[in-house]
C-alpha cells in the first residue's frame, strides 16, 4: 500500500505506507512528493531508532545539530526535542523560521518522529508554503528581491527559545552567521527563502530595509499559505526547509520528538 494524499492547495501531503517495507519505486515517488509539496507526514509508524536513521539516510547526508542533546552515544544524530508540562517560557522553535539557516550549508530537510504527544489538537506545528508565498508576490517585488541576500544569525529573534536548551547542556554556543539568496530555485519552481526567526539584515543593505522586511515577513506567513499539522504518537514528518517555514505553537503538556536534520 502506497498512497499520496495532498493537503488543500498542495501545502504538504500525507503518505499512507509502512516505512519498514518501502520499495525503491515508492521511495522515488516520496522524494518527488517532498519536493512538490514541501512537507510529508506518515501516521502510525513504529520505528526503532536504527530504522528511523536508515530511512532518513535515503534523503541525504545526516547533519549535526550541536544545540540539542543526542539521543545516546550510539545515536548522536538523533536529537531529542522535549517539553515537560512543568516547563515555562516558549517552546523550542516558537516563531516562523528555517532550521539552521545561519550555517553555510543549511540542512535541506528536517525529520521529526513523535514519541510522546499531548492531547490531540494541541502542540500543532504550523507550516507556510514559500512556493505559494513566492507565486503571490507582485512582479516588481520578485524582481527587487532577486538582488538581495538575507543575513541570518543563530542569535536572531528566535534564539530566546534555545536558551533553555543550552542551559540543559550547560554551555552557551557562539554566534553563527550566514548569507543566502532570498529567492531560491528548486527544480523548476521558485521559493521565498527567508527565515524571520533568524533574519538580521539584507545584503547589500538598503535604505528601505525596515519597510521591506515588514512587508516580506507579513507576506510569508499569510493564512492562505498555511497548514497546521496535528501530531499523533508515532507520526513521522519530514519537510523541505527550502520551501517551508515552520513554527511550534504554544502548549502546556509533555512532548517528546526525535529529530534528524539532513543536508
Per CB under 5 A, does 240 bind Fe ion?
A: no
Check residue 38 for interaction with Fe ion (CB under 5 A).
no
Single out the residue of 17, 22, 23 nearest to residue 2, CA to CA.
Answer: 17
The stretch near Fe ion (CB under 5 A) out of 94-102, 143-151, 158-166, 198-206 is 94-102
Q: Containing H/E element for 140?
A: helix 139-145
* Closest-approach residue to Fe ion (CB): 93
Give 35's contacts (C-beta < 8 A, 6+ positions apart).
Answer: 186, 187, 240, 243
Out of 38, 65, 82, 93, point to the residue binding Fe ion (CB under 5 A).
93
- Cβ of residue 129: shortest distance to Fe ion, in angstroms? 16
CB of 99 to Fe ion, least distance (A): 5
Stretch that binds Fe ion, among 14-22, 90-98, 193-201, 226-234 (CB under 5 A): 90-98
Is 14 a binding residue for Fe ion by CB under 5 A? The answer is no
Name, in order, each residue with C-beta under 8 angstroms of 173's C-beta and a sequence gap of 6 or more.
66, 67, 154, 166
197 binds Fe ion (CB under 5 A): no
Report yes or no: 215 and 148 within 8 Å, Cβ to Cβ.
Answer: no
Provide, rounded to whole angstroms, the least separation between the CB of residue 97 and Fe ion.
6
Cell digits for 47? 520505528
Is position 99 an interface residue for Fe ion (rule: CB under 5 A)?
yes
Number of C-alpha atoms within 13 angstroms, CB side, residue 112? 26
Interface with Fe ion includes 196 (CB under 5 A)? Answer: no
Report whether 237 contacts 40 (CB < 8 A).
Answer: yes
Binding residues (CB under 5 A) for Fe ion: these are 93, 99
Amino acid at each position: 500500500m502506497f498512497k499520496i494524499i495532498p493537503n488543500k492547495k498542495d501545502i504538504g501531503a500525507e503518505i499512507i505506507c509502512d516505512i519498514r517495507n518501502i520499495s525503491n519505486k515508492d521511495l522515488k515517488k516520496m522524494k518527488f512528493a517532498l519536493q512538490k509539496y514541501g512537507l510529508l507526514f506518515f501516521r502510525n509508524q513504529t520505528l526503532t531508532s536504527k530504522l528511523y536513521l536508515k530511512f532518513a539516510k535515503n534523503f541525504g547526508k545526516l547533519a549535526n545539530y550541536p544545540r540539542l542533546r543526542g539521543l545516546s552515544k550510539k545515536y548522536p544524530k538523533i536529537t531529542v526535542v522535549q517539553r515537560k508540562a512543568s516547563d515555562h517560557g516558549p517552546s523550542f522553535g516558537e516563531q516562523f523560521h528555517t532550521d539552521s539557516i545561519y550555517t553555510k550549508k543549511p540542512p535541506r530537510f528536517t525529520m521529526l518522529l513523535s514519541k510522546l504527544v499531548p492531547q490531540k489538537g494541541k502542540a500543532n506545528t504550523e507550516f507556510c508554503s514559500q512556493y505559494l508565498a513566492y507565486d503571490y508576490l507582485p512582479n516588481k517585488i520578485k524582481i527587487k528581491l532577486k538582488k538581495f541576500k538575507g543575513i541570518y544569525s543563530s542569535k536572531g529573534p528566535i534564539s530566546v527559545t534555545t536558551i533553555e536548551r543550552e542551559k540543559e547542556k550547560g554551555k552557551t554556543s557562539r554566534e553563527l552567521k550566514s548569507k543566502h539568496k532570498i529567492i531560491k530555485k528548486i527544480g523548476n519552481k521558485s521559493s521565498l527563502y527567508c527565515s524571520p526567526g533568524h533574519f538580521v539584515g539584507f545584503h547589500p543593505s538598503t535604505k528601505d530595509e525596515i519597510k521591506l522586511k515588514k512587508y516580506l515577513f507579513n507576506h510569508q506567513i499569510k493564512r492562505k499559505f498555511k497548514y497546521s499539522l496535528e501530531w499523533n504518537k508515532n507520526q513521522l514528518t519530514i519537510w523541505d526547509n527550502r520551501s517551508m517555514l515552520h513554527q511550534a505553537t504554544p502548549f502546556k503538556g509533555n512532548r517528546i520528538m526525535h529529530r534528524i536534520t539532513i543536508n
